[in-house]
Structure 1
Amino acid sequence: MVTIGSSPRSIHREARPSQSSKEASNADMTRSSCFLDRELAKPTITPAMRRKGWIQFATLCWSIFVAGWNDGTVGPLLPRLQSVYSVSYAVVSLIFIINCLGFLTGASTYMYLTERFRFGVMVVFASCVAILGFALESSAPPFPVFVIGFYFSGFGMSFLDAGSNAFVASLAENTSNKMGIMHALYGVGAMCAPLVSTQFARIHRWSFLYLVHIGLTFVNAILEIMAFRFKSQEGTSRITLLIAKHKEIGQPPPEKTKESEAGVNKYKQVFRLRAVHLMAFFIFTYVGVEVTIGGWIVTYVIQERHGGPNSGYISSGFFGGLTVGRIALLWLNKKIGEWRVIFLYVMICIGLELVVWLIPNLISGAVCISFVGFFLGPIFPIVMNHAGNVLPSELISGSIGWIASFGSAGAAVFPFITGAIASSTSIANLQPL
């Protein structure tokens, strides 16, 4: 009998293998078996699978573009809304509060609904809910009905936001670069929107702006149907040779936590993670500042710097800086370190805001606001990428949904406080805030 691992000479020298040759043979077989197991566990990614993965990523980028478009339209419209509905700063700020309530509803139920009805189903449903909200807004109804439209659009955008971030954060390849690219598309949407909404704010049918929203969101729903086919996230994006449903772009299968195996509810697991709450409070402040600047800067420039009807383009400059920063500063983030570089960006932004506040010049203020967007831009994708790195893969979607809900709360609280203070004093308080 020939033993695996024996040399040809040893076969002729001895009829029966020695004990040491048996042990060596067993060791070789064990190593070969372990190597084979590792190879089988690795995802085999064909060009077709990788191409489909890029299609899915491009679809998520479009979803984030639509979310950015939705956020970027508000600022240039605020003066027109005050004029049409004859409301104060505080009352018009209710759109931020109602939008936040819709976003909180969606983000807090994201984990349950995606597990219950599948990721592919819920992102399409969310797009339909957002279309309902835009349809209400496009008809220029009475102000209370107009505000209700923001609840539905907020709910829909929450799913697009949380779903896209959770999906990309759980990728195995080039996560930080893809996160930066995707959020740059948010900036592109938010940059293009003021260019369009500024024009609509001048015409009688200003509310027809939301017909553009409907068209963009409808295209998003079609793309999501084609890319995800109403399947779960795992069923559309992951591949191993042992689990047939994990077959697309090389994401590692989700590892169950010990608490999950013990039957602990996922919501309880998320709420027990200290890192989730720290990131949530950080995003609460960050998004609040971002939306306040993007939403109120046009009114500030018109009232305090005597800007003309083209002041709405300053909002485009802010979001344009946001877009460029999320791509152009990727190398600096890696060189300095993602968490250390955040402190640098924050200090630069504070200095630029002081220039906008203390130097009463329209041009210098517009330039500084663009650079504020440039340095603020990378912060959000850095946090989302960090969440994907430090959190259990099984809890990423729920955790990011919770973090995103805090961001939405900041997007409501900060602009509302600004509007309330502006009603009793003036919009000049925007920069100190």
Structure 2
Amino acid sequence: MAVDSPSPSLDSPAPAHVFTEMERWNQSRSNVLKTLATFWSFLVMGANDAAYGLESYYRLSYTVVSLVFFSPLGGYTLAALLNNKIHVHLGRRGVAFIAPSCHLLAYIVNCLHPPYPVLVVSFIFAGFGNGLADAAWNAWIGNMADANQMLGFLHGLYGVGAVLSPIIATSLITRAHLGWYYFYYIMIACAAVELAFCLTVFWDAKPTPESTSPDSSRGVLRRTLFTKHSGRVTWICAFFLLGYVGIEVAIGGWIVTFMMRVRHGADFASGMSATGFWLGITFGRFVLGFVTPRLGEKLAIIIYCLLEIGFGLILWLVPNFYAGVVAVAMQGFFLGPFFPAAVVVATKLLPRAQHVSAIGFAAAFGGGGAAVLPFAVGAIAQARGVQVLQPFIIGLSGGIFLLWCGLPRMPKLRVDGEEEEMGERGA
């Protein structure tokens, strides 16, 4: 039994072969508070990535400054390796303490604007905290009733943080004429609230005696990655998220340059195209989270991906600035549900004991897309021009479309224990 999902609501445990009733976010006051805590944690994570003014402050090239964006990947990778052990031995209470503490430590270091190598190391701690929280809260929310809607709100709050963060940071720099590091005073306050809130509401989420037994923790990640059924699902989700996150960050990072140089837009209007893209992702997560379960996760993402590719073709082939702004916002809208849907698929197709390991690994693997693929776009753009952005994005979208089609058939209901194991043996 894993500790990454809501505990059964019945007084006595259900037999292994019986379908278990799933908890709802508003089933109890405790669940409401825990859900709000996870939402706040994702808001903090979404606001985490502002790194404004580093080039001028440290007088470094863009290539050297880019290490700040690579370093969280090290923390994510470490979290992927340790996720299951932390859950088994410390429970969600351990995650509720460690993840916000890592955020708090990183932001305190950033406020001190230390030598640049120290700053890079501090973002490793932020990445480790993000990796733990990403796996824990995705798995916990993903095992609730109405998981698509709930994960849509969870990741929507991440999008809200990503939208607000650059607005606040830019205002502090341009309007208040403060250094880039003043933004992290706000982040310290947010992380302190995250630590107090999460630790308080998840204090009772201790590891169970079953989860701390040697058999429960031995080789879970190995089984998740290398058994026939679990490995297929986990690796497909991992490569899917690698491509998805790469698409998201590449568009978000390069669309302003594309709109200025290829569509000849004004600086401010081109900058708003990036805001429209991130708002599209945020609204897509909120709105399409209610549509996805009606269509089924597999069919829904196939449809969304085809629509996203269609709007990408409009952005690429229609030489009109305003059409491009609308098209990129719609790309974001249909990309929004991809990550939540991948989490739901993992929780439906994998045994519950593997949820944290699988989601943690896939999220860390996807983090590689954020670090590597935007720089691949940059390297190609330097040689061929920034107009290669959309052909690159469309090709990558086609790749993750084919990956998604390779998932096993989705079960209509989730099962626990013996039924799940039988499903894995039969796959």
What is the TM-score of this pair, normalised by structure 1?
Answer: 0.75
Report the 3-state secondary structure (helix = DSSP H, G, I; strand = E; otherwise coil) of the residue aligned with 2:357: helix
Letter in 1 for 2:222: K
| Contact residue 123 and residue 159 of structure 1 kept, 8 A | no
The residue that corresponds to 1:341 in the other structure is 300
Structure 2 residues without counterparts, runs of 5 or longer: 1-9, 15-20, 393-427
Distance change in 2, residues 1:278/1:200 (3 Å): same
The residue that corresponds to 1:371 in the other structure is 330
Given candidates 355, 379, 382, the residue that maps to 1:396 is 355
State the alpha-carbon separation in 1 of the partners of residues 224 and 79 from structure 2.
16
The residue that corresponds to 2:412 in the other structure is none
More deviation in 221-230 or 131-140?
Answer: 131-140
State the alpha-carbon separation in 2 of the partners of residues 418 and 46 from structure 1.
42
Distance change in 2, residues 1:201/1:318 (3 Å): farther
Given candidates 86, 90, 103, the residue that maps to 2:76 is 103
More deviation in 53-62 or 337-346?
Answer: 337-346
| Contact residue 135 and residue 363 of structure 2 kept, 8 A | yes
| C-alpha deviation, 1:216, in angstroms | 1.2
The residue that corresponds to 2:233 in the other structure is 275
Distance change in 2, residues 1:394/1:299 (3 Å): same
Given candidates 186, 209, 225, the residue that maps to 2:158 is 186
| Contact residue 65 and residue 185 of structure 1 kept, 8 A | yes
Do residues 296 (structure 1) and 223 (structure 2) align?
A: no
The residue that corresponds to 2:48 in the other structure is 70
Q: Deviations over 1:154-210 (max 9, x none)?
A: 111111111110111233x22232222212222222222232233234334122112
The residue that corresponds to 1:15 in the other structure is none
Letter in 1 for 2:158: Y
| Contact residue 172 and residue 183 of structure 2 kept, 8 A | yes
Given candidates 267, 278, 281, the residue that maps to 1:322 is 281
Q: What does 1:19-418 correspond to in 2, within 5 Å?
A: 40-41=12-13, 50-71=28-49, 73=50, 77=52, 80-171=53-144, 173-202=145-174, 203-229=177-203, 231-232=205-206, 260=215, 265-271=219-225, 272=227, 273=230, 274-301=232-259, 305-308=264-267, 312-418=271-377
Q: Deviations over 1:324-354 (max 9, x none)?
A: 1122223432333321221222222223233
Distance change in 2, residues 1:207/1:70 (3 Å): same
Report the 3-state secondary structure (helix = DSSP H, G, I; strand = E; otherwise coil) of the residue aligned with 2:40: helix
| Contact residue 260 and residue 266 of structure 1 kept, 8 A | no
What is the TM-score of this pair, normalised by structure 2?
Answer: 0.76
| C-alpha deviation, 1:316, in angstroms | 2.9
| Contact residue 89 and residue 423 of structure 1 kept, 8 A | no
Letter in 1 for 2:391: P
| Contact residue 191 and residue 315 of structure 1 kept, 8 A | no
State the alpha-carbon separation in 2 of the partners of residues 282 and 47 from structure 1.
28
Distance change in 2, residues 1:44/1:212 (3 Å): closer
Q: Which has the larger radius of gyration?
A: 1
Report the 3-state secondary structure (helix = DSSP H, G, I; strand = E; otherwise coil) of the residue aligned with 1:432: helix
| Contact residue 25 and residue 32 of structure 2 kept, 8 A | no
State the alpha-carbon separation in 1 of the partners of residues 55 and 387 from structure 2.
17
| Contact residue 90 and residue 423 of structure 1 kept, 8 A | no
Pairs aligned (count): 369
The residue that corresponds to 2:411 in the other structure is none
Report the 3-state secondary structure (helix = DSSP H, G, I; strand = E; otherwise coil) of the residue aligned with 1:118: helix
The residue that corresponds to 1:7 in the other structure is none
Percent of residue pairs identical: 32
State the alpha-carbon separation in 2 of the partners of residues 44 and 426 from structure 1.
51
Taking only aligned residues, the RMSD between alpha carbons, in angstroms, comes to: 3.2
Distance change in 2, residues 1:318/1:424 (3 Å): same
| C-alpha deviation, 1:127, in angstroms | 1.1
State the alpha-carbon separation in 1 of the partners of residues 218 and 339 from structure 2.
30
| Contact residue 55 and residue 62 of structure 2 kept, 8 A | yes
State the alpha-carbon separation in 1 of the partners of residues 66 and 25 from structure 2.
49
| Contact residue 25 and residue 35 of structure 2 kept, 8 A | no
The residue that corresponds to 1:33 in the other structure is none
Distance change in 2, residues 1:141/1:45 (3 Å): closer
Distance change in 2, residues 1:335/1:40 (3 Å): closer
Letter in 2 for 1:229: W
Report the 3-state secondary structure (helix = DSSP H, G, I; strand = E; otherwise coil) of the residue aligned with 1:229: coil
| C-alpha deviation, 1:40, in angstroms | 4.4
| Contact residue 148 and residue 290 of structure 2 kept, 8 A | no
| Contact residue 93 and residue 419 of structure 1 kept, 8 A | no
| C-alpha deviation, 1:139, in angstroms | 3.4
| C-alpha deviation, 1:424, in angstroms | 5.3
Distance change in 2, residues 1:327/1:61 (3 Å): same
Structure 1 residues without counterparts, runs of 5 or longer: 1-37, 236-244, 246-252
